[in-house]
Structure 1
Amino acid sequence: MAVWVAGAALLLSACGATSGTPGPSVQQGTASPVVGTAPDPAVLGVEMSPERLAFTPPHLEGRELVRVGVLLPFSGSASALRSEAGHLLRGAELALFERGVENIVLLPKDTEGTARGAEAAAEAVIADGADLIIGPLLAAEVRAVSAPARRANVPVISFSTDTSVAGGGVYLLSFPPEEEVRRVVSYTASLGASRFAIAAPATPYGQLVSEAYRRAAAEAGGTVTAEEVYSGGVDSMSQAARRLARAGIGRLEVGRALAMTGENWQPAEGGAFQVVMLPAGGDDLRMLAPSMLFADIDPLLVKFVGTGLWRNPDSAREPALANGWFAGPDAAMRARFEASYQSAFGEQPSRLAGLGYDAASLAALMAANTGAIDRTVLEDPNGFLGVDGLFRLRGDGTVERGLALYTIRNGQFEVLDPAPERFGPAGADIEPGES
């Protein structure tokens, strides 16, 4: 079944470049929730005959349409996958409802959460005349979709965080940890840090963050001088912390320590490392951070930093993480989307639902302005202002996000350095505090 939804306004907007000139002009969304009839609940896509080309709903016959396939694991084996698929589709529906574009059609297809299912869904939606594919969610699905999409010259905006599947017309609209790592390393380096350490879990995520950390440190003119991996619980974490400490850490004089609060941190001249990355979340983080203290790694001297996994209420209440730093999307921007989603569907959106909204908003932008999918618009270096703040899609298919830097103070998350309001030249870093 094709989903076609019309409505009022759009949040997504193009942002100015370094010169301050705006990108493609689109209507800015209102600050209050959308008022009006909500779109129909999300439904599963009904597979259509491969022989039927350029599917057109009866009430849109005779119009030049932009058809957007939405490939998601509606019947995936895991309930979390099925739930996420529904949130992503509802986010896409909401974007079209708010934008009110009348020449765009969503074509939902079920990937079943498998590579084979994703490939079949891609072939089916391409046969239905899709001009753009939104999804899939999993890296294996994206790989399977890539080949038929490239043969048909249909761009793909996927939600995977695996950068190895990007490129050749496949774009990642997600929250890759590499961007979070780069933001926090860039900020600490701007304060003079050049020696970095990391204690990472022995998982694919830990390996990914470690690799990104080494690259980011090198780009910032520094180096990772100590790197430890742990597996298992607190004993393994404690051993990793002790090994880091043996690399050599400075000591604070009592008088200087008494004058410091953790908020006025500056990189120390001595010691093997000045910053330590703790890429964990939840209970793991609440065990890992105290392990650093027990190994005499002093957070007054060594800045504790992390990834978006830190953004958890329990993390904010962990004393060992007080004054620690991590990067994440602009929370204030997301509040408007959550209010609109709640108003339309009567429930809170998932963390990823905004990606469905932003992807459909990009499609609506092109359908309204050019009447067709245009990769030059997708790769606009000025970027776009979406649900979670500033982002732009690079030519290699990866996403760059304008992230805020957060600190933990008094059991709360506070913005230490705000998210940028514009991007610098493509490939250039955004200076801390620049907006």
Structure 2
Amino acid sequence: MEPLGQRQAAVPIDATEQLKRAQALYRAGDLEGMRQILTRLDPKRLSLPERVGLALLKARLALDEGDSATALELLNSLTPKQIPDYLGKEYHRLRARALTLEGDLVGSLHERIRLNRWLQTPQEVEENNRAILQALELLPDKTRAKLKARPRSDLAGWLELRQILNAHPYRSEALDQAVAKWRETYPYHPADQGRFLERVIAKRVPAPPPSLQAGQTIALLLPRAGPFQAAAEVIRHAIEAARDFPGEPEPLPLSEYDSTAADVVLQYQRAAAQGARVVLGPLQKPELERLANLPRFDPPVLALNAIEGLTRPGLYQFALPPEEGVAQVADSAFAHGHRRALVLVPATPAGDRIARFFLDYWEKLGGRVLEIQRYPAGDVSAAIRRLLNVDESERRGERVRQLVGEVKLIPRVRRDADFIFLQANPEQGRLIKPQLDFYRAEYLPVYATWDVYTGHPDPRQDADLEGVRFCDLPWLLQGEHEAAPKVAEFEARWGPQPGPYLRLAALGMDAYRIPTRLLGVGGRYAGTSGILSVDGSGRIRRQLSCAEFRQGVPVIYGLAPDSLHAQGPRPGG
């Protein structure tokens, strides 16, 4: 029997074994158990390769929690010479991811080029090469031009290849000749591994014959009165801005028909009889439903709304459904490794619709929704407290005080979630994000709908949205587009516009160009509202750009993940 007051000392667990257990718990999703081990783990008892493995584990955890700055700090504490070969791939992949989330697309590009030498499977090479081309596509022309590359280096090859692909948007003999010359200069370039470049070129379609000849008319079928009049006016201005943009081919004649002045079917038939080559509109869903009674459309119609399940020969549907942004920000969260979601939406019919869509979409991706809370128009704190289980924690604290007397207890928020999905306008978002931080939920990344952004950079007002991620139209995020006036120029001509109307303006500029750049052509068109493509039902799909608020300004960290964007259910109209 041991002497009174003495206990048998616990057998210490070997530090190497602790690290292995922590890594196993991370893979199993038990982050709380992993954190407990890490708090007891003494890095000094680990070998150098094990300390590198520990730093990578902590960096991975920080990225999962949306803290790319901490992840980058951990990764920067390591030198390339310290990285054992078997951890090289993980090190460079984490650095590329952290730099992307920090908005450093140039740094991420360099890191992905370094990563190539560590990749082994064709799928890994394919995904990394796609990410490199995507980063080059997102970089502004001025930034791309400033990149320094050694002659015949991998970076020089990527830059030249991007120039070739931009200069030859269609499959042609000129493209084949340019690629053949590029291959002579870069015979062992990573872009040519696993036939990656062949697949990129194979997706190009032949240049189409002009779909609109000189003198042929585009008809606008838009309302001149009623609740959609102001929205239609913004679209008209946007079409005019696209027609007048320097470098645009000769402007196509426009004729306009008021969709509210007479039956929409009669107006369409009038436009057809008067020689319209294509019709843009209608804008309102009830008018589209009436127009859909026609069995086919000649001339073709590019409707500026959409109805799920509707298909007709010659009918194309081009809309801005909020579900599209929800799906793509969900894709982004899933690609970042998040699986367990908390949902916070307004207590409105629109909020309920978004919550139902997110729940269905997220579960089909393979994630779980742990809880959905609705917040009222006034005080949002009660909904936040319920979402984070703060109320439950305080009730437990009250029971403890009843048992042991007065004691200071700090409420603990739940630790079983990976992120929060938020629907909020800018004013609501600026109230909600600080309250999440106040309740010690700053560890939870917030992914929001595009409503959270006004469309205008405002560092002072949007400082409260720090770290919030969302996917939106590239024209709003960048403030400019190579084939469109800058947002500031558009507003100087037509007056200040709120975010929803700026999105309609991007829609209008793309609508003017879609008949000549996309319809009957296929492929993809990088428009002001996103990277556009046509599916088999005639729906125009878009791939958005994704950004994170940094010092109150949205910083683009990439496109919505292409692999997930192409899979899964697509949003309704």
TM-score class, shorter: 0.5 to 0.7
CA distance in 1, matches of 2:167, 2:227: 33
SS in 1 for 2:248: helix
**What pairs up with 1:217-232 in 2 under 5 angstroms?**
217-232=362-377
Which residue of structure 1 aligns with residue 423 of structure 2?
Answer: 279
Gaps of 5+ in 1: 1-10, 28-59, 251-269, 367-374, 430-435
Q: Do structure 1's residue 395 and structure 2's residue 536 form an aligned pair?
A: yes
Q: Which whole-Å CA distance do the structure 1 matches of 2:237 and 2:517 have between them?
A: 21
Distance 1:281 1:85, change over 3 A: same
Pairwise CA distance, 1:233? 1.7
CA deviations on 1:320-341 (whole Å, 9 max, x unpaired) are 4211111112234844412499
Higher strand share: 1
Check the 8 A contact 1:383/1:391 in 2, yes or no: yes
Q: What does the per-residue CA deviation read over 1:1-47, in whole Å, with 9 as the maximum and x for residues that have no partner?
A: xxxxxxxxxx99957999222335489xxxxxxxxxxxxxxxxxxxx
Using the alignment, how far apart are the partners of 1:181 and 1:100 within structure 2? 37
Match of 1:20 among 176, 200, 203: 200
Which amino acid in 1 is paired with 2:351? G
Matches of 2:167 and 2:567, distance apart in 1: 23
Q: What's 1:134 paired with? A: 280
- DSSP 3-state at the match of 2:205: coil
Partner of residue 566, structure 2: 427
Corresponding position of 2:360: 215
| Secondary structure, aligned partner of 1:178 | helix
Report the structure number with the largest CA radius of gyration.
2
Which of these residues, 290, 298, 301, is aligned with residue 144 of structure 1? 290
RMSD: 4.1
Task: State the match for 1:244 in structure 2.
Answer: 387
Residues 134 and 341 of structure 1, relative CA distance in 2, 3 Å threshold:
farther
Change in CA separation of 1:137 and 1:67 when aligned onto 2, cut-off 3 Å:
same
Residue 408 of structure 1 aligns with which residue?
549
The structure that is helix-richer by fraction is 2
* Residue 197, structure 1, aligned to residue 342, structure 2: yes
Work out whether residues 67 and 106 of structure 1, in 8 Å CA contact, stay in contact via their aligned partners in 2: yes
Moved more, 167-176 or 342-351: 342-351
For residue 185 of structure 1, the aligned residue among 330, 345, 356 is 330
Kindly provide the CA deviation profile for residues 46-72 of structure 1, in whole angstroms up to 9, marking residues without a partner as x: xxxxxxxxxxxxxx9xx8964432111
Q: CA, structure 1 residues 414+79, in 2 after alignment: closer, same or farther (shift >3 Å)?
A: same
- How many Å apart are 1:385 and its aligned residue? 1.5
Counterparts of residues 321-400 of structure 1 (less than 5 Å): 321-330=465-474, 331-332=477-478, 334-336=480-482, 337-339=484-486, 342=489, 346-347=493-494, 351=502, 352-365=504-517, 376-377=520-521, 380=522, 382-400=523-541
Distance in 1 (CA, whole Å) between partners of 2:223 and 2:343 is 35
- Are residues 277 and 398 of structure 1, via their aligned partners in 2, closer, same or farther at CA, if it must alter by over 3 Å? farther
Secondary structure of 2:319's counterpart equals coil
Give the Cα separation in 2 of the matches to 1:71 and 1:248. Answer: 54
Residue 407 (structure 1) shift = 0.7
Deviation at 1:362, TM superposition (A): 2.4
Task: Deviation per CA, 1:104-155: give whole Å up to 9, x if none.
Answer: 543311123x8x653442232233343422122222232233224x444443
CA distance in 2, matches of 1:327, 1:120: 39
Are residue 109 (structure 1) and residue 109 (structure 2) matched? no
Paired residues for 1:14-93 under 5 Å: 19-21=199-201, 22-25=204-207, 66-76=216-226, 80-81=230-231, 83-91=233-241, 93=243
- 1:268-304 Cα distance to aligned partner (Å, 9 max, x none): xx8342211111113222233344345x26022x111
Paired residues in the alignment total 343
Task: Give the Cα separation in 2 of the matches to 1:82 and 1:383.
Answer: 26
Deviation string 1:139-197 (CA, Å, 9 cap, x unpaired) is 2232233224x44444322223x553753354332333223222222222223211112
Paired with 2:370 and 2:287, the residues of 1 have a C-alpha distance of 37
> 2:304 — aligned with what?
159
Query: Partners in 2 of 1:215 and 1:18 — Cα distance?
Result: 36
**Local SS of the residue matching 2:388:** helix
* 8 A Cα contact 2:331 2:564, kept in partner: no
TM-score by length of 1: 0.66
- Residue equivalent to 1:206: 351
Partner of 1:308: 450
Task: Say if 1:190 and 1:354 are closer, same or farther in 2 by CA, change over 3 A.
Answer: closer
Contact 1:68/1:132 (<8 A) preserved: yes
CA displacement at 1:249 relative to structure 2: 10
Unaligned runs of 5+ in 2: 1-165, 172-196, 394-413, 569-573
TM-score, normalised to structure 2's length? 0.51
Change (3 A) 1:340 1:329: closer
Pick closer, same or farther for the CA change 1:64–1:304 going to 2, 3 Å: closer
Cα gap change, 1:215 to 1:338, in 2 (>3 Å): farther
Q: Which has the higher contact order (CA 8 A, sep 6+)?
A: 1
Paired residue secondary structure (1:174)? coil
Label 1:175 to 1:315 Cα distance change in 2 as closer, same or farther (>3 A): farther
State, as a whole percentage, how many aligned pairs show the same letter.
22
Are the structure 2 counterparts of residues 316 and 93 from structure 1 closer, same or farther at C-alpha, using a change threshold of 3 Å?
A: same
